[in-house]
Amino acid sequence: MIIGIGGVSRAGKTSLALQIHEWAGEGKVKIFHQDDYIQPLDKMPKIKGHIDWENPASLDFNRLKKEIEIACKEFQIVVVEGLMVFWDLELTKLMNKKIYIKINKDAFLSRKTLDSRWEEEPEWYIEHIWKTHFIYGLLPAGLSGVLQIDGETGYANKIVKSYLEIKE
């Protein structure tokens, strides 16, 4: 089973991927983080002289798809998480299950200020992250069978487990 988890930055995608790993058990799940599939820095798109991590051109979708196909031979569950995980239609077609985590702008801003993984981002770029999510990060039109969950109030484990058909 290939599971795609999308949503804006700081929505809870990685946390859910790790939770699925815990539910399924050791050795059964491989997690792919879209952030690990960036282009070489000299090929990255830029905006105002700043690397534009929010642009699909910043990601190597082909390498990600190849590695997912290899992992499917070894693992029962493959989880692919990222803010543009549904952008590449070929990647989306590989997914058996799709989860989209929604948060509002206030939650995004609050969580983003606590995010210390990258260097400090300028205020204009934080706004850029939010706006570009609505261009590159939303679910494709007409995509069905997607579980949409609320990343602000927390999601019910029972609902996610049922959707993924993971037994208690």
What pLDDT, on the 0 to 100 scale, is given for residue 102? 93
Number of separate helices (H) and strands (E) present in the chain: 6, 7
Helix (H) or strand (E) holding 47: strand 46-47
Beta bridge partners of 146: 98
Domains of the chain with CATH codes = 2-164 (3.40.50.300)
Residue 51 in 3-state DSSP?
Answer: strand
pLDDT in tens, 69-80: 999 999 999 999
Tell me the mean pLDDT in the region 50-57. Answer: 91
**Prediction pTM value:** 0.91
Q: For residue 81, is pLDDT > 80?
A: yes
Contacts of 113 (CB under 8 A, 6+ apart): none
* Distance, CA of 53 to CA of 66 (rounded, Å): 21
DSSP 8-state assignment for residue 118? S
